């Protein structure tokens, strides 16, 4: 079992990783949306779509870690 100090470090890292992944995903969404009306032609580039897919996967992974920690707190496995 991890010490409280190790748990706080993990929690802080999870929150920071989640925030960074969210921002990356948000930026990728905005980049894709710029290809649509009224600015674009409705055809996002393959690179932009690939980045959105990768950013979405990264965000879901980071969110899963946060949800695991929250579950541990709620069930008393983490203090």
Orientation angle between helical segments 4-33 and 46-74, nearest 10 degrees = 150
Please check whether residue 33 is in contact with residue 3, taking contact to mean a CB–CB distance below 8 angstroms.
Answer: no
To the nearest whole number, what is the mean pLDDT of the chain?
A: 95
pLDDT in tens, 2-48: 899 999 999 999 999 999 999 999 999 999 999 998 888 989 999 99
The model's pTM? 0.87
């Amino acid at each position: 079992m991890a010490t409280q100090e190790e748990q706080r470090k993990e929690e802080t890292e999870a929150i920071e990783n989640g925030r960074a992944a969210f921002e990356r995903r948000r930026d990728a969404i905005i980049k894709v949306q710029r290809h649509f009306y009224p600015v674009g032609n409705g055809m996002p580039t393959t690179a932009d779509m690939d980045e959105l897919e990768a950013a979405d996967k990264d965000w879901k992974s980071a969110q899963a870690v946060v949800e695991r920690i929250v579950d541990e707190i709620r069930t008393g496995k983490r203090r």
